[in-house]
Amino acid sequence: MKMYLTLAIFCVLLATACSMPSKKGPNDKDRPNKECRDKRPTCKGVAYLCEDYERYMSKFCPQTCGMCSKNSEKKIKDLKKILNAIWKTPKHFERSRNFPNEKSTS
């Protein structure tokens, strides 16, 4: 359990670090990336697919799906998925041996 807790704390700290604003010069006021534009004319019509088909949509419709920021939001979303998976892991997948200095829970 300590391993999972340590991993969770690490992920939260990493997510916090990813969401910190970077230092920008006075003329760099959140301009969108020149490469971050929709590559298909149908993007606005299929915007409802952004979450379910994230990989495809991030490649062809990043502007419509709001994926133009420095991917920090995507990293945070991925970390949240990892944390959810960790906390939902059934107990029978946990190691049967206890870590040193850890009391038995059974």
Dump pLDDT digits (tens) for 17-36: 444 444 443 344 444 566 78
Residue 71 CA to residue 78 CA, distance in Å, equals 11
Cα separation of the two ends of the chain: 13
Q: Is residue 12 part of a domain?
A: no
Handedness of CA 100, 102, 105, 106 (dihedral sign): positive
Predicted TM-score (pTM) of this structure = 0.38
Q: Is residue 25 part of a domain?
A: no
Residues 51-72 have pLDDT tens digits of 999 899 989 999 999 888 755 5
Q: Is residue 11 part of a domain?
A: no
Q: Which domain holds residue 69?
A: 35-86
Q: Is residue 81 part of a domain?
A: yes
Q: Is residue 19 part of a domain?
A: no
Q: Is residue 80 part of a domain?
A: yes
Coil, strand or helix at 92: helix
Q: How many residues does the chain have?
A: 106
Are the CB atoms for 64 and 50 separated by under 8 Å? yes
Q: Is residue 93 part of a domain?
A: no
